[in-house]
Chains A and B, each alone.
Chain A
Amino acid sequence: MTGLAAATLWRRELTRFFRQPSRIAGAVGTPLIFWLLLGSGLSGSFRLPGGPAGLSYFQYFFPGTIVLVLLFAAIFSNISVIEDRHQGFLQGVLVAPVSRSTLVAGKVLGGATLAWIQGVVFLALAPLSGVHLTAGSALAAVGILAVLALSLTALGFAFAWKLDSVQGFHAIMNVVLMPMWLLSGAFFPVSGAPFWLGALMRLNPLTYGVAALRGVLYGPATAPGLPGPAVSLAVTLAMGLAAFAAGLLATRGGRVD
């Protein structure tokens, strides 16, 4: 029964998403524009310190852009947590014989699935960035995207549950998730950053997810100054679990309205 309830909440997220095509445009369109403009603009002046020669900024920025797609998708899908509260749907779920963990699982898995689908769609643009995907690397990338989608969505959920307004949620996301992304090596490499910034980046769990993705696409040498793929993947998984636990914890408190 718990599985059925979680599945129905998951399904609802998907149904709602495909009825709002503008959400797809927002989540994939913005990163696409970033990638095309920044990639074109910075390609001439970019060189990855400590990395292999010949990696263009287009290529370097590509995995970071996919993570940005996930990030936007996670933010958009968690807006529905606040909307559900305001529009009253949530109260109906709260009075059903469904545990809070089921509710979190349904909502987070729904949002994460959507983020993951969008990330995978963006991944299909890889040939445009000049990267040759093999069946193995594509599969590995798809797996890493799934873990990252879950982490980011769960993290967004933990904030969304506690907040009353969509505006407030956007504000918090701009000071939490966006800096997390900016300092993840998505945008500029750890190896070229000043010491204090590099330290911050190494503390950021998302750095390892981006590194894992980049490593899968271009080889481990493209993440200089960071641990190998096994450690990166382990940190990414741990981050996913921690974020999910945070989401669960958020719903535990006294807040029931």
Chain B
Amino acid sequence: MSGQTGSTAATAAVEGRGVRFSYPAKRSARRRGGPVPPALAGVDFQVAAGEIFGFLGPNGGGKTTLFRILATLARPESGTVRVFGADLATQAREVRRRLGVVFQSPSLDLQLTVRENLVHQGHLHGLAGRDLAARIADGLERFGLTERVDQRTAELSGGLRRRVEIAKALLHAPRLLLLDEPSTGLDPGARHDLWETLESLRSQGVTVLLTTHFMEEGDRCDRLVLLSRGTIVAEGTPAALKEEIGGDVITLTGRDPQALARDLAALHPELAPVVQDGAVRLERERGHELAARLAEALPGRIESVTVARPSLEDVFLRRTGHRLFDEGEEAP
């Protein structure tokens, strides 16, 4: 796992400074007169070369907007993004040469075969002849697609199509691979294969940057940022982020959570209980011992007690005050 020490400016694969982006206001929003919040409210981030870096957040948090900016498909209103030192605003072509992109929605031509898709992609990147043929053969082999090469991509399963997408994105040997929600729509087996691929790419020095709303996927990143409502609410390794919670997360439910929290605070002010989503939440070391004591101290008031190791979801909750999936949807 590469730590924060690796992310100095000299080795940064991607560096964003004050990246801000707003979608044009919808007519209905303008009529209401309310200001439209920016999709990205000036974010700073740095991705070290050779790490797997995640943008974790709910839909509408801004991660897809950030992905589109990094993929050179959208221009930030203000701020700068550099990819291996090349400025996205002025050197988009340079950036595109080094960039492999896997979109959430497929970018394959379903009427064409696997090989035809790869050949067109190679040509778009200036590859041809024997070099291209060798790269295609390698890619097919690597992703177990050799036998599918003359099948139309429309006939392939979702998992196989995603493999073709990744083979396509890697054909020109990019130094940075960008993936938007790569696990969406994949069964657990295909998801497992995907992560093996990403880890093997990392071992070859490829920088991997992905967006996700799955906590488990955030856990597998070397480093990640949590995005909420267009701002970065936390940044670090998954372990470091979870350490800030300290101990366990205890969740209590009861008929009247507000009263339960009040009584708990009266008994143990140091616990600082918080009501969230109709449950009382505490963070405490050796949570199971405390849970048993609380159940005795407030007989009949507690309906259920859960003690868990903190997850990235808890980090998100602590930083934003709301859960990962509660944020309203906005324009993609």
Contacts and interface: CB of A to CB of B under 8 A. Distances in A.
Contacts of A130: none
Given A95-B71, A256-B73, A87 B121 contact: no
A132 B107 CA distance: 49
Interface in A1-42: 1, 4-5, 7-9, 11-12, 15-16, 19-20
A253 interface: no
A234 B93 CA distance: 37
B112 to A, nearest CB: 7
B119 A8 contact: yes
B168 A4 contact: no
Contacts of B107: 88-89, 91-92
B123 A7 contact: yes
Nearest to A98: B124
A97 B93 contact: yes
Interface residues of A, number: 26
A15 B121 CA distance: 15
A95 B120 contact: no
**Counting chain B CB atoms within 10 Å of each CB, which of A88, A93, A257 scores highest?**
A88
B103 A87 contact: no
Contact of B96 (A7, A15, A96): A96
A97 B125 contact: yes
- Classify the secondary structure of A's interface with B: helix
A94 interface: yes
B71 A87 contact: no
Number of chain B interface residues as a range: 20 to 34
B72 interface: yes
Interface in B112-129: 112, 116, 119-121, 123-126, 128
A257 to B, nearest CB: 7
A5 B99 CA distance: 17
A12 B105 CA distance: 20
Contacts of B128: 4
A147 B96 CA distance: 34
Interface string A86-113: 0111011111111100000000000000
Contact of A97 (B73, B75, B97, B168): B97
Nearest to A16: B111
A134 B96 CA distance: 51
A5 B126 contact: yes
Interface string A240-256: 00000000000000001
Nearest to B101: A95
Interface in A188-229: none
B243 interface: no
Contacts of A11: 120
A236 to B, nearest CB: 32
A50 B69 CA distance: 62
Contacts of B75: 256
B109 interface: yes
Contacts of B93: 97, 99
Given A19-B111, A92-B107, A257-B73, A97 B123 contact: no
Given A11-B120, A91-B105, A97-B124, 18 more contacts: A4-B126, A8-B120, A8-B123, A12-B109, A12-B116, A16-B111, A87-B106, A87-B110, A89-B108, A89-B109, A91-B73, A91-B101, A92-B101, A92-B121, A95-B71, A96-B96, A256-B74, A257-B74
A19 B119 CA distance: 18
Contacts of A98: 124
Interface in B56-100: 68, 71-75, 93, 96-97, 99
Contacts of B125: 96-97
B112 A16 contact: yes
Contacts of B96: 95-97
15 contacts: A7-B123, A9-B120, A9-B124, A15-B111, A16-B111, A88-B103, A89-B109, A91-B107, A92-B101, A93-B124, A94-B73, A95-B72, A96-B125, A97-B96, A256-B75
Contacts of A95: 71-73, 96, 99, 101
